[in-house]
Structure 1
């Protein structure tokens, strides 16, 4: 069981917000996002990279199931206030595509979060990739034990702009 108190504090969901989690399995974080969005009348979208459809019991989400690590997830442009890439970034065959799709689906000033088990990703490489895709103020923070968490922001009128 993960202690998600500090992780939860990163988010300040507002009524009508949309959050997207792109992951390989549902867990406590998926449930947390589902509950947060329900509490504010928001929308939770889930892109699940899994060979078999997983149970979404107790989770309120619009889910899409993707069966291979080269296929992109689907998301509308500027539709999300946060995108979480959890346990997927190191597995996806096209990291550039997943970053580009994340950028496109984020609203201005929204956050991208990359979360992987500790030691899997090269910290400097991920920070550089985030900068290359015009995400600003990338940081690596420790808020969930056993995980590296990178967070950056899509800024209005910077780089790729709108």
Structure 2
């Protein structure tokens, strides 16, 4: 089981995020700031952002830190499944800590495992009360303990909202 400790002082990471986001002149730079904050506080081997268009029922990967395996091109249909009910219906984070759990809702579980990942947090980002995106944070199996999930919600929700709002403007 991975070490469950989080960085004791997140103020430096939050300060760096704030400065970097304030200086961002592109959506990519804004998302880079959020990715760095996530890795410095909660931890991630893979970080992506999926925006959603609920009217069209489409999702689009708008940011990735692994362009080779998870490019930012195209859209995919939103599937009405358990994941959708948790993230969209209830506005709660989806958490899975094994590849078996991931495989139940994501068709790319094999690739996720090949990248050394086996746990995920999909953090919903709400704008105007509606799901606008998910922040997708992946790490080794069993990594996202209750403490890390709570830290993700506490430390990343507002920065994710600010990042998405800025990215939409740039």
Q: TM-score range by the shorter chain?
A: 0.3 to 0.5
TM-score by length of 1: 0.33
Higher helix fraction: Structure 1 or Structure 2?
2
Kindly indicate which of the two structures has a greater share of residues assigned to strand: 1
TM-score by length of 2: 0.32
Greater relative contact order, per chain length (Cα 8 Å cut-off, separation 6+): 2
